[in-house]
Amino acid sequence: MHANFPPNRIRVVAMLVVVGVVSTVVCQAEVDPTVIEAQRARVEAIRRGSNAAVSIFAGESGGGSGVLLTPDGYAATNFHVVQSSGPAVTCGLADGRLYDAVVVGVDPTGDLALIKLLGRDDFPCAQLADSDDVQVGDFCFAAGNPFLLATDLRPSISAGIVSGVHRYQYPAGTILEYADCLQVDAAINPGNSGGGLFDAHGRLIGVNGRASFEKRGRVNVGAGYAISANQVRNFLGGLRSGRLCDHAALGATVSTSADGRVVVSDIVESSDAWRRGLRYDDEIVSLAGRPVRTVNAFKNVLGTLPAGWQVPLVVRSGGRRREMLVRLEAIHSPATLAKLAGGSEDGGPQPAATPTARELPATVRERYEHRPGFANHHFNRLERDRVAAALAAVRDAQPAGPWVLAGRLASGDEFRIELSDASASIDLPTGTSTVAVGDELDRQPVPPGSGGLLPALVLWRRLVVEGPAAVGRTIFWGTAPRTPATFAAGGSADLVDVLESSVAGVVARFAVAADGRVLAIDLWCQPDADPCEVRLSWEDAAAIGAMPARIDVRRGDVPFAELLVDPVAVGATP
């Protein structure tokens, strides 16, 4: 075979082959295995982020991006992406397929929305990270559809570092407030809105939505902002409820004092903060477990919290440190929030360009229900029924007939509670109180001083025995901290489901664990007064069947009673 080649040519070829082999060996030897592994991990992380990325097409209103959060198709995006789309959008994934999607819930102030892609229950989805762990300089990448370029549905990837954390972006003439957000230099352009921001492990650390375009118009300038994953987590329960979600207000404004402290400059005297004792010139030390050293830090914490949550507040007044639990108010009235949601006067995604029900895709039409105060009431019923199924399991373990709980107070005195379909009674050392179940409960806030303990227990029994659908107007309210007083240092909390019932003149909220046990009841007999707060503890529950071991009751700052349930007396014959 080599006869036709000059001898020196053969030697050159041989030498080149040898050099090539040697060079390859040398190159392989010089590459650190950790570098190869890091490259493999980076490619895998971007693959996962790409697969979870959603391209959103909202018809004439344009489109943007989203990111899948669950295998059954729930995806986060920006409110401004779906604001004018009506209840239906079309979504594309990296697999090249298009999917119908329906709007579930919206948060106009925080620029968040939840949609649900239809047609599968095995969507690739992102893992929510703890965004408080993100540090300046961390690698990050964005996956989305800038300028709607992804006509093949494969998302664009832009990489960079985290430039800043805990940034506050003023509404700037709009309602879209970005609090405690992440600043990145990864390219964020129009169309990236609503897409995922991922860390080096492919975990979701934020939802992209805003950029500083002032210097170049609508072109990336290297300063993009993402809603933190922890804020998304805080609002996810409310978004899944199909409601129009609102952000929290303390009922007070703050400013910086001459010596650099963050102090209360104004306060609404009808607010819960005022009732808890917050006053002018009090220094704000921490809110929801996070330290407050600047006005922006205060706004950052408050801006990540939903209206209605109860959170710890630490203040310093007259040199004395005080701790309190404050129930946060809503920024907007329901009517104002409905208008801000971009829809009709009563709320819901109903702009003029919205298709009629007949024009909606069939899969969307059967999953959309318009109702005042909701973006999509259909999903509220789904979530309420999910909680109802857990409550039903508890109901099956309850004693038949009236519920009887007896035991001792912390003082050692005895108590007895009987709850039946028609009436309820409680015997305390101070006297006996009764409630007729069919009457207006707001007129029966007994025992005196409790704010309505007996009505709260009546509704608790009805909720478990009859189910949420039978107890007045009961909705899935969202999620709230399981134990508000024990927020983690970073401001995160263990969240549980909350149902809200409006019935017989009162409003009650029930915190329900995943196993169906009711953990807390807050009952308002008057809307602007302190509720009766009932906390049910289930320690040693296995020994006493399906009843709590202890019931703590307070109203505002005043404890009313601590009821220690005797397991022998639970369910006893009256």
Contact between 170 and 159 under an 8 Å Cβ cutoff? The reply is no
Contact between 407 and 568 under an 8 Å Cβ cutoff? The reply is no
- Which of 156, 158, 193, 271 is an active site residue? 193
Classify 410 as helix, strand or coil: coil
Backbone φ and ψ for 567, nearest 5 degrees, come out as -60, -25
Answer yes or no: 111 catalytic: yes
Contact between 67 and 204 under an 8 Å Cβ cutoff? The reply is yes
- Which of 111, 132, 199, 530 is an active site residue? 111
Q: Which of 39, 46, 42 is nearest to 144 (CA)?
A: 46
What are the C-alpha distances in Å from 446 to residues 31, 432, 450, 523, 558?
76, 10, 6, 12, 15
Output 387-391 pairs: Cβ under 8 A, ≥24 positions apart: 387/468, 387/476, 387/497, 387/499, 387/512, 387/516, 388/467, 388/468, 388/469, 390/512, 390/513, 390/514, 390/515, 390/516, 391/463, 391/464, 391/467, 391/468, 391/512, 391/516, 391/518
- Which of 50, 65, 80, 370 is an active site residue? 80
Give the chain's count of helices (H) and strands (E): 10, 31
The tokens for 43 are 């490619």
Rounded Cα distance, 368 and 102, in Å: 7
Output 552-558 pairs: Cβ under 8 A, ≥24 positions apart: 553/450, 553/453, 555/449, 555/450, 555/451, 555/530, 555/531, 556/275, 556/276, 556/530, 557/276, 557/277, 557/324, 558/449
Cis amide bond preceding 447, omega within 30: yes
Catalytic residues: 80, 111, 193
